[in-house]
Structures are given as structure tokens and as C-alpha cells.
Structure 1
């Protein structure tokens, strides 16, 4: 019998938590990763080399690899701020950028690196071209660039992407649509709603695939609201935004954390973008999703509130078991 096929879509630091737990299960994993990041090291390399930003791909590669911890430390090493042109760049970003240039494709670079690091599963950039994220706010103002969105004081109405270096319609990378259509379960998030998850979903081919896939679509709702993106959002609001961007009610199941985050625990300096815990709207959520899985998914570490990947994966595997004849 074939392994269940799970496709995880997102970016940032959220989906690596899920992927690192999933890789120990008997499942066939595909990660589809955003390429709209334009800040920090990723933004500099993308601008200088006109390649897809490597940062989110780097974190996913580490999460899905069985590389020894020492190799991981090397790959994740970030040059110091007094290192001139290299300052702030993780070594892994430079490696991904170099192989992307050598191969003429970030998609091809990731296929080489998944073999090199013995990755469990497949990693696809959402698009083989760098994308620019646009946010239209409720007052009509438009902000261009993922790194600029949180700086504008307002509520986001919608986001969309364009190709950064030409006027063509953004296209999904090779095999991305096929992976979505052949999945048993698609997992969205966790991660920044407007800047890590939606930049993938608004690529027209990916949007259409999600509308038509026979797979169960699950959303792992964020634990904390985020400055500049989801202030005052309930879990119901997160799902409503996803469905609005996808055009139909795509979300079948929502995983929400009910365990309280201790008020004094969060390190507001290290995690200054996160505000308060997402409020649970049970009745509102039940109207938008066929299934609501509410439990303790909380992991407190290093002054931050994260998902417990192992607990989330238990519920994801249960969803597959329920949907498989």
C-alpha cells in the first residue's frame, strides 16, 4: 500500500515545526514554500541575483533533513554584522543562491539539495520566479513588498502577487499542482497569514488546484495574533480570510490551540511582532469549517509560543485515517 500523501503549504518559521515531526511518520511529504520574502538576507540575495528568496526554503530543508546537528549549525550559521558584504547572511542562503544560479532554477537547486542532505520528502518553491507581494488595505491604500506590509497602520483587505522581474502572470513551480491534486491531506500553516501562507494560495494555478483537489484541506491556526497583519483576529477571522482569497469555502478542518499562553511568558523583545493569543470563536468557526479540532497544541520555549509539532501531527494523521476508505 502506498504511503498517505501530505502536502504542507506556507513559509516562515511555522511549517518547519510541523514538517520536522511529520518526517518521522510513514507518510509521503511535499512542502510548498513561499517565494515572496523580500527582507533581510533573502531580500538582498533575491535583488542582487534575481532569484527566488532562499530563507524559507533553507528552514524547510533543515526541518526535513536527517543532517547531523553539526551540519545543521554550519548550514544555519549567520555571518556577523561586522563581516562586510556577508553580514547577516546565513551560509545556507548563500549555498541555495549559488546552486540556483548554477542550475538556472531555484526548483532545480532544491531537488539537488534534498538529495544532498537526505531529505525526507520533496521541497518545491511555490513559483520558480521571485514574487512581489501586494497588500490592499481596507482604506484602499496599497503596500508593495512583504517586508513593508506590517509597517502600515491599517487592516488588510486582500493580498495578491506579481512576478518581480516581468509582467507575466505568476505560475506555480514544476510539480506543485500535481502534488496538490494527488494529496490525501493538504496542510496550510501555521505561519503568518498574509505574508507566509496566502502568497502561495493566490498564485492562480495553486488557487485553482485547491478549489478542485479531492484532498482534505486542514488549516493549523496561529496561536498568537500578529502586528500589522491579524490584530484583533479570532480563529474564525483567519479562516474567513483564507476562504475569501480562495473564492470558495475550501477549509475542511481547523486545528486550534485552546491552552492559555501565560501572560507574563512571552519575550516581547525577541517576539515583538506577536501581540495577544488568538481568541477562540467556536460558533463562528463551526459555520466555516466542517471540522474543528481544538486541543492543547502549545509549546512554550525560548520566550515564545509555538505549536507542538508532535501533537499537531497526531491530529493530522487522524484526519487522514478518517478520510481514507
Structure 2
């Protein structure tokens, strides 16, 4: 049964990939779509004009080469024909007819040419090619953004940011040791693919279907039960390509991912935490389950080497975003890689931390916004960001009651303490609340819009 499900999942992925390349010719439905081709920045009109100039220059060269004799005779012949026509049909009739016929031929030629191009390049039947080109140019003009984190928080952020820039790089922690990722890590020896899987699905063009496919968990079968398809897919790609970095690159190409997903390190990192009660806990999942107050956190090995491409992405970044996500098990593990923290510290670009909306039992119970900032500063040994984004509006009473039962509450905004830490506060409403479950999450679209607006202002004022 499990093998049948696995084959069905693979077939679905193949069909989704084929959908991107299956096209049918379709007559343009909106005349105004033609006017969009006049929009600046498409890099289409200039090449057409250059082509026309090339034709004229080639014709001129041929005329010079043959000493104008054939062209002169051709022009004389055409002139005689036109003169004969004008003697039969008055010029006020023949002129408009010739103009109309010429415009018709131009329109026909351009329509058929663009139709042929659209048939090959248009990604879906619901979008005009010009709309795709305009969106492509807009995204390519976006800033180079590096987002650092893990878990569902980072994938939520990427889902919104991919609508504003094509130059996205997600740097993801590889310290996960629970669930399907933990099993694959222990049994096969691969780096945990779970957080990377979430980010790849969030950045894919066919996001909804791929998210469902990658998050699908097998419910039966020896060895398959509990595993997600995305984790198995990345594990198989790692075995085929040789390492996780190459597996991510190959998977991103196959799935038409917008941006890049990079592990912070290719080293087998294991987290440890020292609790206030004196206990030392090893393993990401064990730290949360210990349900203690975290005093200090580190990793084994203590100074894991960073992935060079991750350091390069930070060095070239225009904008750096840290979080959201579990403070000690998603955000800080990336910053425990010394080269990552050092690269961020050296950059003089806008850098912001997206604080969580609710505290997390076992990690940040009773934490304020300033406590989150202090924890990151302590782990890195220096301040890395100059602003913090905080949710303004609190959840509804039903959500508060639901979270209180788990020992969680909204992260308190202590303005004075944040001011002493010399951080700016970006106070905004970017929260979504599920009316049925009571869970609260960052809204991808609103979060991305606020972050890009702050980036524009910060860049204009400070950088």
C-alpha cells in the first residue's frame, strides 16, 4: 500500500512539472495587453528597433556594394507601378487604402509572431505573456534579500517575499533532530531536510500543490510510516548528487523555485542547552521537551564551518531579515556558525529581527521582546540587527485562552528596555488568526509588505 502511495506522489510531481511546459495557442482577449509592450524596462522594444536598424543597414550595404544599379531599377519599377495606379485611382483613395493595408499587414505579422512566442513561453493559460514579463522585470529589480531562520516561520516569510524580489536567499538551520528529519539523520546519516523542504515548497511557483505533496506523510508501510514525501525526495537527491547543497540546487531547478535555499553549514551540528536549574540538554527536540528556562545555548562542534555560498550571499545582500521562528531552535542555531554571524556584523545594510507573536513553552516562556533581543546578542557576542518588528494587536480572547492552556502568551513589548538596547521598534499588524483552531501566525503578504516598506525608509534615511 505504501509503495502505491509513493508512486502516486511521484506521478503527481511529474504531472505538475509537465503542466509548466504544456501550452495551447490562445487568441489574446484584451486589446490593452498590446499597450503593455510599450512599458519601459521590458528590454524588448530596443532589440526590435536594433533588428530593424540592422535590416536597413544591410540593405544600404548591398546597395553600395552593387553600385545602386539593381536597387535603382527596382525603385524605378515600383515608381512606375505607383504612378500608373494613381492615374487610375485618386491619391485621396489609394493613399488611405495603402496605409490601411500596411497597418493590417503589420498587425497580422506582429500578432502571429507574438502568438508563436507566447505559445512556447507562456507559463499558464490564465496569464498573458506581457504580464509575466512585467512581473519578471519587477522581481529582478527587487533588492537582494537574505532571510535567516528555520521552521514554519521562515517559510511563511519567504512565501510573502517572493512576490517582491527574485533575489532571495534563505539560510536555514540544519540542527533538527526530531520527527521524520531526525529519523533520516540517525538511520541514513543525512543532514535534516525538514526546514529546507518547507522553504523550497514556499518558494516554488506551483506552491499549493508542491506544499501538499512535500508535506504529505505516509501513514503506513514498514520504514515509510511517519516520513514526509519532501524529506524522502531531498534525501534521495542528496544520495544522487553527493551532498545536501547539490540536492537543494537540483531540486530548486526541477521545481522552478524563485530564489535560493542554503543550509547554514554542511556540518553535522547538534545543539546543547544549559538550563537555569543546572541541567545540560543535548538535541534540539530534547531542549524543548525539557521544559526549562534556557540559560545558555551552543552546538557541537562549537565552531562549525559555514557554507561558503551562504557567507557570500550575506556579503552581497542589500537587506537582511532574521526570523521569525523558534528563538533557540530555529533562529539562533544559524548564528552559532561564527562565519554567518561575522558576515552579518560586517554588513552596513538594513537588518531587522522579526519577533515571534507568542512565547513558546520550553524555550521562551515569560520572555519579552527585549529578552528575545538579549538572547540573540548573547549567542552572537554582539548586536547584529538595528530594528525589531513587533505585532501591535493582541489575539482574541478565545486564542489567548487556548494558548494559556499550553503556557503561552503574547510577547510583551517593553519599549524602555528595547530603547536601552538601541533598537528601533517597527510596530505593525501582520497577524492572522485561525477562527477554528485559535492558532496565530504571521500573514505572509502583510509581513513582506511591511518589511519592504521599512527597508525603503531605512535605506533612504541611514544607508
Question: What is the TM-score of this pair, normalised by structure 2?
Answer: 0.66
Structure with greater proportional helix content? 2
Q: For residue 198 of structure 1, what is the aligned residue in structure 2?
A: 332
List aligned pairs for 1:283-322, cutoff 5 A: 283-301=416-434, 302-322=437-457
Q: For residue 227 of structure 2, what is the aligned residue in structure 1?
A: 89
Q: For residue 7 of structure 1, what is the aligned residue in structure 2?
A: 146
Report deviation, 1:2: 5.2
Structure with greater proportional strand content? 1
User: For residues 169 and 248 of structure 1, what CA distance do their matches in structure 2 show?
Assistant: 16
Q: For residue 218 of structure 1, what is the aligned residue in structure 2?
A: 352
CA contact (8 A) 1:184 1:320 kept: no
Report deviation, 1:47: 1.1
Q: For residue 240 of structure 1, what is the aligned residue in structure 2?
A: 374
Report deviation, 1:247: 1.2
Q: For residue 257 of structure 2, what is the aligned residue in structure 1?
A: 119
Q: For residue 23 of structure 1, what is the aligned residue in structure 2?
A: 162
User: For residues 40 and 228 of structure 1, what CA distance do their matches in structure 2 show?
Assistant: 17
Q: For residue 188 of structure 1, what is the aligned residue in structure 2?
A: 322
Q: For residue 82 of structure 2, what is the aligned residue in structure 1?
A: none
The structure showing larger relative contact order (alpha-carbon pairs under 8 Å, at least 6 residues apart) is 1
Q: Secondary structure at the match of 1:275?
A: coil
Q: Secondary structure at the match of 1:177?
A: helix
User: For residues 26 and 243 of structure 1, what CA distance do their matches in structure 2 show?
Assistant: 29
CA contact (8 A) 1:181 1:215 kept: no
**267 and 92 in structure 1: CA distance in 2 versus 1, 3 angstrom threshold:** farther
CA contact (8 A) 1:18 1:309 kept: yes
Q: Secondary structure at the match of 2:278?
A: coil
User: For residues 95 and 191 of structure 1, what CA distance do their matches in structure 2 show?
Assistant: 24
CA contact (8 A) 2:181 2:194 kept: yes
What is the CA deviation profile of residues 1-29 of structure 1, one whole-angstrom value per residue up to 9, with x for unaligned ones? 95311100111111111100110113511
User: For residues 61 and 214 of structure 1, what CA distance do their matches in structure 2 show?
Assistant: 28
Report deviation, 1:241: 0.8
Report deviation, 1:320: 2.3
CA contact (8 A) 1:182 1:215 kept: no
**146 and 267 in structure 1: CA distance in 2 versus 1, 3 angstrom threshold:** farther
Q: Secondary structure at the match of 1:176?
A: helix
CA contact (8 A) 1:219 1:254 kept: yes
Find the structure with the greater CA-based Rg: 2
Q: Secondary structure at the match of 1:160?
A: strand
Equivalent of residue 365 in structure 2, options 231, 234, 249: 231
Report deviation, 1:40: 0.6
User: For residues 412 and 327 of structure 2, what CA distance do their matches in structure 1 show?
Assistant: 15
Equivalent of residue 255 in structure 1, options 365, 368, 389: 389
Q: Secondary structure at the match of 1:45?
A: helix
Unaligned ranges ≥5, structure 2: 1-139
CA contact (8 A) 1:42 1:53 kept: yes
User: For residues 273 and 193 of structure 1, what CA distance do their matches in structure 2 show?
Assistant: 18
Unaligned ranges ≥5, structure 1: none
User: For residues 184 and 323 of structure 1, what CA distance do their matches in structure 2 show?
Assistant: 11
Q: For residue 46 of structure 2, what is the aligned residue in structure 1?
A: none
User: For residues 74 and 287 of structure 1, what CA distance do their matches in structure 2 show?
Assistant: 47
**How many residues matched?**
319
CA contact (8 A) 2:358 2:409 kept: yes
Is 301-310 or 4-13 further displaced after alignment? 301-310
User: For residues 103 and 274 of structure 1, what CA distance do their matches in structure 2 show?
Assistant: 44
**154 and 265 in structure 1: CA distance in 2 versus 1, 3 angstrom threshold:** closer
Whether 1:144 and 2:282 are equivalent positions in the alignment is yes
Q: For residue 129 of structure 1, what is the aligned residue in structure 2?
A: 267
Q: For residue 459 of structure 2, what is the aligned residue in structure 1?
A: 324
